[in-house]
Amino acid sequence: MARGNETRRLVLDHAAAVASVEGLDGLTVGRLAGDLGLSKSGVFALFGSKEDLQLATVRTAIRVFLEQVVHPVHELPHGIDRLWRLCTGWLAYSQARVFPGGCFFYAVTAEYGARPGRLHDTIAAARRNWFSFLEQTLREAQQAGQARADVDRAQLVFEICALMELANGESVLHGDDGGYRMAARGILNRLRDAATDPALLPAQA
Three-state DSSP class for residue 195 = strand
What domain count does the chain have?
A: 1
What's the CATH code of the domain at 99?
A: 1.10.357.10
pLDDT in tens, 111-147: 999 999 999 999 999 999 999 999 999 999 999 999 9
Which residues lie across from 195 on neighbouring strands? 147
Tell me which residue range forms the domain holding 114: 62-200
Neighbour-count burial for 111-139, b at 16+ CB within 10 Å, e otherwise: bbeeeeeebbebbeebbeebeebbbebbe
Within a domain: 17: no
Residues 6 or more apart whose CB falls under 8 angstroms from that of 203 comprise none
Query: What is the distance between the alpha carbons of residues 147 and 67, in angstroms, rounded to a whole number?
Result: 26
Measure CA of the first residue to CA of the last residue in the chain; give whole Å.
47
Distance of CA 112 to the CA centre of its chain: 16
Write the DSSP string, 68-102. IIIGGGTTSPSSHHHHHHHHHHHHHHHHTTSSTTS
Whether residue 102 is contained in a domain is answered as yes
Taking the C-alpha atoms of residue 102 and residue 169, their distance in angstroms, rounded to an integer, is 8
Residue 40 forms part of a structural domain? no
The verdict on residue 20 lying in a domain is no
Average pLDDT, the chain: 95
Assess if residue 133 is contained within a domain. yes
* Assigned domain for 95 exists: yes
Helix H or strand E segment including 164? helix 153-174
Q: Is residue 90 part of a domain?
A: yes
pLDDT digits (tens, 9 = 90+) for 73-105: 999 999 999 999 999 999 999 999 999 999 999
Sign of CA dihedral 29, 30, 31, 33: positive
pLDDT at 3: 64
Residues 6+ apart with CB under 8 A from 30: 40
Residue 122 located in a structural domain: yes
pLDDT per position as a tens digit, 142-161: 999 999 999 999 999 999 99
Least confident of 40-44, 96-100, 181-185: 40-44
42, pLDDT greater than 90: no
* 3-class secondary-structure state, position 23: coil
